Amino acid sequence: MTPGDRLREAALGRLAAQWTALGAQLEGGAETRVVDLEALLVATARLAPDEPRVAEVALAWSTRHGSAVNGARLRTVAAELDVVGPTAEFAGAVRRAGGQPWPVAATGEPGIPWRGIDPRPGLVVVRDLTAPARLVWRLRAGFGVNARADILAVLLGAPTPLSIADLAARTRFGKRAVAGAVADMSLAGLADVERAGNADRVRLADGAPVRAWLGAPAVPARDEASRWRCVLAALDLHDRIDGAPDAVRAVEGRAASDTLRPALAAGGLPRPDATMLGVAFAFAVDTWFEAMAAAVAP
């Protein structure tokens, strides 16, 4: 098994764990960190058509609970992860199965890779949304499928106040929408806004009743959309350079890792050893694939 194969296997395992955390009836453990619904859907659209057990539960969940998905954010995340076409195909399959019509532009006939996948009853069982992994879903159920719920999820896990720009980057909503939502949340006593220099800094208000309602869930600080972006980009890189000469693999690997550096940091993922120069960087890329697989495996 190549390093790229191990990364693909780890990514599929993480997909299964996240769907299990959302109620999918799959064998294996469930994700314990907060699941980013749109990032999970996009990663699933890219990876799951060749993995029937994950594809079935993803289609079943999306058909039954797709109203929890923010269509505008789904479109944004699909573009960020460069998975617009497969996401449109998945969205087409969800529509044909009777699910929510997500506003993702289709390219060609939608849903072709998903034909023959049966979202039969019993694949997904959801009795409540109290598990920490379901935090975003729970907040959307309580506050609506909008920027406020996602901002709350970020603020709950932020160790320090965040700027409007930081919140927009983490939630994938526009700065104007985030600023408006923060102003409303401040009026409601959910957020405290302080002026620091030329920027506002936002934190969850002390004593905000949402903490008691949620029961102080364990919330991670990592950016799941950035993590999936890096995983999918690494898999694409492996497919491009597999079997290529070391010189080509080194050049392609360095270019890809340099592009991904901010996303790797945001997602808490390892980076290749940049001290290895020339053709030797091809070895650093293989080592990076191994490290990524270890970091992503459930």
What tens digit of pLDDT does each residue of 25-62 get?
A: 998 899 999 999 999 999 999 999 878 899 999 999 99
Do residue 162 and residue 186 come from a single domain? yes
Percent of the chain with pLDDT over 70: 96
| Eight-class DSSP state of 146 | S
| Eight-class DSSP state of 35 | P
> How confident is residue 81, by pLDDT bands cut at 50, 70 and 90?
very high
Q: What is the pTM of this model?
A: 0.93
Mean of the pLDDT values across residues 175-182?
95
Mean of the pLDDT values across residues 228-241?
95
Q: Which of 114, 133, 166 is the last residue of a domain?
A: 114
> How confident is residue 16, by pLDDT bands cut at 50, 70 and 90?
very high
Q: Is residue 124 part of a domain?
A: no
Q: Is residue 140 part of a domain?
A: no
Report the 10 Å Cβ neighbour count for 196: 9
Q: Is residue 127 part of a domain?
A: no
Question: Which of residues 107 and 202 earns the better pLDDT score?
Answer: 202
Query: Rounded to the nearest 10 degrees, how much is the dihedral formed by the CA atoms of 97, 147, 204, 166?
Result: 110
Q: Express each pLDDT in 132-173 by its tens digit.
A: 999 999 999 999 999 999 999 999 888 889 999 999 999 999
Contact in structure between 182 and 165 (CB atoms under 8 Å): no
Structural domain span for residue 31 = 3-114
Mean of the pLDDT values across residues 218-246?
89
Q: Which of 161, 179, 214 is the last residue of a domain?
A: 214
Q: Express each pLDDT in 105-139 by its tens digit.
A: 655 455 678 888 888 888 999 999 999 999 999 99
Q: Is residue 121 part of a domain?
A: no
Percent of the chain with pLDDT over 90: 68
Residue 47 and residue 123: Cα distance in Å, rounded?
19
Contact in structure between 285 and 260 (CB atoms under 8 Å): no
* pLDDT above 80: residue 235: yes
Return all residues near 104 (Cβ < 8 A) that are at least 6 apart. 71, 74, 75, 78, 84, 87, 88, 91
- Helices vs strands, H then E, count in the chain: 13, 3
Do residue 19 and residue 48 come from a single domain? yes
Do residue 200 and residue 231 come from a single domain? no
> How confident is residue 217, by pLDDT bands cut at 50, 70 and 90?
low
Q: Is residue 122 part of a domain?
A: no
Cα angle 17, 145, 61; round to 5: 35
Do residue 154 and residue 201 come from a single domain? yes
Q: Which of 90, 114, 138 is the last residue of a domain?
A: 114
Contact in structure between 15 and 4 (CB atoms under 8 Å): no
Structure tokens at 217: 């869930």
| Eight-class DSSP state of 260 | H
Tell me, what's the pLDDT at 261?
A: 95
Q: Is residue 128 part of a domain?
A: no
Give the domain CATH number at 151: 1.10.10.10
Q: Is residue 203 part of a domain?
A: yes
Tell me, what's the pLDDT at 197?
A: 77
Range among 120-124, 179-183, 272-276 with highest mean pLDDT value: 179-183
Cα angle 258, 259, 260; round to 5: 90
Tell me, what's the pLDDT at 216?
A: 61
Mean of the pLDDT values across residues 172-185?
95
